[in-house]
Structure 1
Amino acid sequence: MEKINFNYFCDNFDFYVKEALNNKIFIYPTDTIYGIGSIVNKSNIERIYDIKKRDKNKPFSIVAPNIDWIKENFITSNDFEEKFNFFLENNHGITVILSKKNNLFLPDIGVNNKVGVRILKNNFQNFVTKLNQAFITTSANISNTDYIEDEKYFEEKFEKNVDYILIHNYKKSVESRIIDFTDNYKILR
């Protein structure tokens, strides 16, 4: 496990994109709380379930590279982008629930063909955009324990299981608003 200053990470995206493509696991700041994640593949999904000690019936969300990627891969309405941007601008962070166009797409993510999808309001989004593929996102804590946003907690709980902890002084500690876009923009949280 290596601790990296978030600004250094942002200045060296090319290197960390290669690391992500080599299945490295990251703890990273989002626009809400710290997340733990990686590129999406079956092996990484299993690793993150094990790291978090998470019930395998609880799906992970993803960070999408951009809005066009979302519209290409998920069922969206004609006014989706407008509504999405409205919710994104007016909330600290959002997760939208969408149905996949093809159930073979991201086969190990989501449940009943539905996936939680995020676009972040911080520089980690630029990293995912550069990756140009889905990135697993889930809270950086052991399942069924309180969320603690503390560098020492991350080191203690995850040091042997994650590759990088991105340290940032941004403190939010508020979960994202969840909006089900499969049900006429129904706010779930």
Structure 2
Amino acid sequence: MVLLNEEQIKRAINLLIKNDVIILPTDTIYGLSARAITDNQNKINNMKKSELNKPLIILVANVEQAKRFIDLTKEANDLLNSKEPTTVISKLKDSQTTYAIRLVKRDDIKEIITKVGPIYSTSVNISDEPHLKNKKDLEEFIDMDHCFFTENLENSPSNIVDLILNKKKR
């Protein structure tokens, strides 16, 4: 796995702080990413030609960040810390809002999230089309200076486990 260098990490942090949408490598595939605030969710969904309020996966750097969104039960903790990248769908007690949370494994992306806070991440593609993998396609999707390509990522998207419905979705 090729990690982002310190200059790329600093540039990504600066763009995210400005609430820009960028493309980052994740543990699985490239993701359209921005700080986890509603305006950025709308920006990303607009880029993907999705419903503006479509929920997005939130990447966190540690379980303390995950606790802001979901109850960290033993099962949720075990899934987040599993070897395979796993997204957990759950919610806080007394809340109707559900979140899809994934604990990042990559040290470079953890460093970014530690500085800017949790970020949205969703596959780079137009909704219902295959996700983009190569540098040329990724750079055509977004400005080149907002694309942090490291290598072709040929992985599948993360596992998704819905703890509310008690079932694996992917």
| TM-score clears 0.5 | yes
Distance in 2 (CA, whole Å) between partners of 1:121 and 1:65 is: 8
Larger RCO: 1 or 2 (CA < 8 Å, sep 6+): 1
Unaligned 5+ runs, structure 1 = 104-111
Are 1:22 and 2:18 matched, yes or no?
yes
Are 1:7 and 2:4 matched, yes or no?
yes
RMSD: 2.5
Call closer, same or farther: CA 1:46–1:102 in 2, change over 3 Å.
farther
SS in 2 for 1:96: strand
1:180 maps to amino acid: D
TM-score (norm 2): 0.84
Indicate the residue corresponding to 1:126 in structure 2: 111
Indicate the residue corresponding to 1:178 in structure 2: 160
Are 1:46 and 2:42 matched, yes or no?
yes
Counterparts of 1:107-186 in structure 2 under 5 Å?
Answer: 112-122=96-106, 123-131=108-116, 133-159=117-143, 164-169=146-151, 171-184=153-166, 186=167
Distance in 2 (CA, whole Å) between partners of 1:48 and 1:72 is: 22
Call closer, same or farther: CA 1:59–1:163 in 2, change over 3 Å.
farther
Indicate the residue corresponding to 1:187 in structure 2: 168
User: Percent identical across equivalent pairs?
Assistant: 26
Q: CA deviation at 1:52?
A: 1.0
Q: CA deviation at 1:98?
A: 1.4
Distance in 2 (CA, whole Å) between partners of 1:19 and 1:148 is: 21
1:124 maps to amino acid: I
Distance in 2 (CA, whole Å) between partners of 1:155 and 1:18 is: 19
Distance in 1 (CA, whole Å) between partners of 2:75 and 2:159 is: 19
Distance in 2 (CA, whole Å) between partners of 1:61 and 1:42 is: 13
Unaligned 5+ runs, structure 2 = none
TM-score (norm 1): 0.76
* Contact residue 69 and residue 99 of structure 2 kept, 8 A: no
Are 1:59 and 2:44 matched, yes or no?
no
Distance in 1 (CA, whole Å) between partners of 2:3 and 2:75 is: 35
SS in 2 for 1:167: coil
Call closer, same or farther: CA 1:141–1:181 in 2, change over 3 Å.
same
